[in-house]
């Protein structure tokens, strides 16, 4: 007798993705897509940075332009109350919206009296602190912002204090900090460095920094991501790190072991777990994809 075996579509990810899951292509028409975030009504917003647009997709209503011009939004996130946050290359600012993205207010524009470079990606920690990265991609890439001089002495990871609004540089030893995510216990801050984007010898890794309240300890290399770059990342409820790359979603265990990959036919900019359904949404170059998952995303 030949035993009947069902091959899992994503070997190594059997515990994280159901066997029936397939990569679904949901929407097209972007140029370089980033920053997906899910809304309570089941819709997904994401950035088409060179198109200067925020797009939306809903399972019944389909695809639409949500915001144009969008002043080159990049990363998005939401907090526990459902407020939305955006990184704006064009405004060189972090923005917040309490009306589902109908209007946006700048909450961070400067650090020590100088303009930010071009905020890239963002998370809100359980204590309400807003953490964001500030590489210069919106300044040095004419199709991703309005240009301008870099005023900061480096590319830092910042913490915006929820009670005072003060912006403090917390990580200063990275070259191009980009995506970021927190472990479920909020004691490890993961940040990607994508300096290989403009330097063949540059970084394409995820660093892990111990976090205690607002104090960041010494970082270490968590995973080197290939092919391509680890742009946006997310962490699931068990602490696994799901990273964008040039060849799909690379998934790493909390100890840094690579578990497997969800192949995606386009270079990925960013990804996000839905908080209302068991899906991972993926913004990849021109398109929005999703894949069913059997884990929840870490809310942070
Ligand atoms: Mg990014």
Q: Within 10 Å of residue 239's Cβ, how many Cβ atoms? A: 16
Distance 8 CA to ligand 1 centre (A): 30
Q: Ligand 1 mean position to 98 CA, how many Å?
A: 23
| Distance of CA 125 from the midpoint of ligand 1 (Å) | 18
CA of 119 to the centre of ligand 1 (A): 9
Residue 122 Cα to ligand 1 midpoint, Å, equals 9
Tell me, in angstroms, the distance from the centre of ligand 1 to residue 55's CA: 17
Taking the centre of ligand 1 as the mean of its atom positions, its distance from the CA of residue 5, in whole angstroms, is 39
184 Cβ contact list (under 8 Å, min separation 6): 235, 237, 238, 239, 298, 300
Structure token pair of residue 30: 């972007």
Residue owning tokens 């309240």: 213
Q: What's the rounded Cα separation, in Å, for the pair 237 and 249?
A: 17
Query: Which sequence spans correspond to the domains of the chain?
Result: 29-227
243: which 2 tokens? 């990273």
How many angstroms does the Cα of residue 7 sit away from the middle of ligand 1? 33
Query: 216 CA distance to ligand 1 centroid (A)?
Result: 21
Helix (H) or strand (E) holding 252: strand 249-252
29-227, what's its fold? Neuraminidase (2.120.10)
Burial category of 44 from C-beta neighbours within 10 Å (exposed 0-12, middle 13-18, buried 19 and up): buried
Distance 36 CA to ligand 1 centre (A): 11
- 74 CA from centroid of ligand 1 (Å): 7
CB atoms within 10 A of CB 48: 25
Q: Is 262 exposed, middle or buried (0-12, 13-18, 19+ CB in 10 A)?
A: buried
- Give the pLDDT score at 298: 87
DSSP-derived secondary structure letter, 140: H
Per-residue pLDDT of the chain (300 residues; tens, 9 = 90+): 556 566 899 999 999 999 999 999 999 999 999 999 999 999 999 999 999 999 999 999 999 999 999 999 999 999 999 999 999 999 999 999 999 999 999 999 999 999 999 999 999 999 999 999 999 999 999 999 999 999 999 999 999 999 999 999 999 999 999 999 999 999 999 999 999 999 999 999 999 999 999 999 999 999 999 999 999 999 999 999 999 999 999 999 999 999 999 999 999 999 999 999 999 999 999 999 999 999 999 876
What are the φ/ψ torsions at residue 210 (nearest 5 degrees)?
A: -65, 140
């Amino acid at each position: 007798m030949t035993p009947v075996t069902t091959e899992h579509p994503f070997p190594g990810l059997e515990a994280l993705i159901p066997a029936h899951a397939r990569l679904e292509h949901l929407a097209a028409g972007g140029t370089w897509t980033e920053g997906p975030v899910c809304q309570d009504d089941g819709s997904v917003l994401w950035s088409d940075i060179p198109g200067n647009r925020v797009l939306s997709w809903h399972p019944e209503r389909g695809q639409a332009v949500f915001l144009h011009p969008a002043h080159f939004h990049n990363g998005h996130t939401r907090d526990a109350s459902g407020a939305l946050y955006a990184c704006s290359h064009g405004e060189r600012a972090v923005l917040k919206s309490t009306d589902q993205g109908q209007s946006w207010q700048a909450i961070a524009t400067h650090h020590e009296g100088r303009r930010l470079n071009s905020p890239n990606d963002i998370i809100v920690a359980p204590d309400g602190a807003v953490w964001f990265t500030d590489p210069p991609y919106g300044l040095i890439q004419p199709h991703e912002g309005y240009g301008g001089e870099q005023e900061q002495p480096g590319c830092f990871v910042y913490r915006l204090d929820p009670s005072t609004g003060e912006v403090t540089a917390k990580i200063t030893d990275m070259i191009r900090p980009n995506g970021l995510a927190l472990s479920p216990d909020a004691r490890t801050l993961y940040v990607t460095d994508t300096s290989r984007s403009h330097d063949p010898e540059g970084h394409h890794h995820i660093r892990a920094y111990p976090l205690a309240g607002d104090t960041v300890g010494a970082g270490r290399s968590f995973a080197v991501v290939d092919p391509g770059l680890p742009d946006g990342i997310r962490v699931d409820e068990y602490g696994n790190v799901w990273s964008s790359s040039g060849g799909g979603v690379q998934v790493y265990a909390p100890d840094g072991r690579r578990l497997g990959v969800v192949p995606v036919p386009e270079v990925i900019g960013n990804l996000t777990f839905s908080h209302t359904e068991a899906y991972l949404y993926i913004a990849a170059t021109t398109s929005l994809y999703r894949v069913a998952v059997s884990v929840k995303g870490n809310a942070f």
